[in-house]
Structure 1
Amino acid sequence: MKPLKSYLSRRKFTFLGLGVLSSFTVFRFFAPANDKGNKKMVRMLAQDGTLVEVDASLLTASKRKVSTDEVQHWIKK
């Protein structure tokens, strides 16, 4: 009779473990998504010479190369 009792406790333990694992999976689908890792950041140089990171979705300027003359006039001497 004793082996039957241990079998039932192992069976309960197994089902309890499977229930806990499946609940973690369900919580993962309903948890809010972390958007911080999904954003593409672009490093840019500010006017004061500091390096800043800007979200790429916020940039609206046309993506063209800056000429050498424009850079020389942009920098304040």
Structure 2
Amino acid sequence: MSDEEGPKHFNFAERQRQKARARQRDEERLERGEISPRELQEENMPFRKLRRDRVAIYRNKKTGEFVWMSFERKRGAEDGSED
């Protein structure tokens, strides 16, 4: 049985090495000016493609259609008040 046929196991140490290399590459790109800190943050955000204006909450059992909700901030909510 070869390694490719066996079950896949998460290797914590290897993942730590991968993350360290990625952080080092990010630092080097920042130092060279290839990317701005804001661009790097956006690139590394796990949910950067999530649409806050249209999120499926659940599927209606009878119709099979999704029920949508918006999580966008209301105008004037920047200070925490919705008045």
TM (norm. structure 1) is: 0.30
TM (norm. structure 2) is: 0.28
Q: Which one has the largest radius of gyration?
A: 1
Q: Larger relative CO (CA 8 A, sep 6+): 1 or 2?
A: 1
